[in-house]
Amino acid sequence: MADLPIHLEFALPDWVVPHVAAWPRARDDEARMRLVLGLARESVERDDGGPFAAAVFSEERVVAVGINRVLPEKNSLLHAEVLALMLAERHYASHNLGEAGLPQLTLISSCEPCAMCLGAILWGGLRRVVSGALREDAEQAGFDEGPVFPASHRYLEARGIELAHGVLRAEARELFALYRARGGRVY
């Protein structure tokens, strides 16, 4: 059992920090989505992961971001939303992003969250989620969304989570075409 793995470590690539720092203030959901789509685009152009990005915002301020790191980190769980949520929780040193005393937070995702990420959103205590590309856009590009049903969204909404879909959908969908055009692997 000497080889039982017990340690995990991940980091976003270094380019992410200046990318976010150089971005203008994001005053509304479309502007916030543009930042997220810009992250996903840079990630694809650098061959740094799948065509997905996400960010947790407190009003105009970026609290944490994530990009898809499944292939570079050889870790199937590292969806953009998972990293953005984990890093936001690290930032606030809390497992509950809906905790009293924290600002109102919004998760912006370049694509509708998959089954795993919907669960993660619920456990993370997020109250508001805005996504870009729709499930069918991801599926058309070959990416599965898993067991997500209309009842899954209703389940989250019944717990007070606001879900908005399709913000800048056309631009978000273009990421899949870019990824395919560059020979990106659909896993």
Positions marked active-site:
81
Q: Long-range contacts made by residues 118-123, C-beta under 8 angstroms, separation at least 24?
A: 118/148, 118/152, 118/153, 118/156, 120/81, 120/82, 120/85, 121/81, 121/85, 121/156, 121/161, 122/155, 122/156, 122/159, 122/161
Choose the binding region for its own copies from 28-36, 41-49, 73-81, 176-184 (rule: CB under 8 A): 73-81
Identify the three-state secondary structure at position 159: coil
State yes or no: residue 85 binds its own copies (CB under 8 A). yes
Shortest spacing between CB 182 and its own copies, in angstroms: 19
State yes or no: residue 59 binds its own copies (CB under 8 A). no
Q: Strands 128-133 and 61-67: what pairing?
A: unpaired
Shortest spacing between CB 170 and its own copies, in angstroms: 27
Closest CA to 81 of 42, 58, 107: 107
State yes or no: residue 71 binds its own copies (CB under 8 A). yes
Identify the three-state secondary structure at position 180: helix
Options 20, 31, 134, 178; binder of its own copies; rule CB under 8 A: 20
State yes or no: residue 4 binds its own copies (CB under 8 A). yes
Options 83, 129, 133, 163; binder of its own copies; rule CB under 8 A: 83
Tell me how far apart the alpha carbons of residues 54 and 83 are, in angstroms, rounded to a whole number.
8
| Tokens representing residue 27 in the block | 């005053």
Of 29 and 94, the one with the shorter C-beta distance to its own copies is 94
Binding site for its own copies (CB under 8 A): 1-12, 14, 16-18, 20-21, 62, 64-65, 70-71, 73-77, 82-83, 85-91, 93-97, 114-120, 122-125, 144, 146-147, 149, 151-152, 155-156, 187
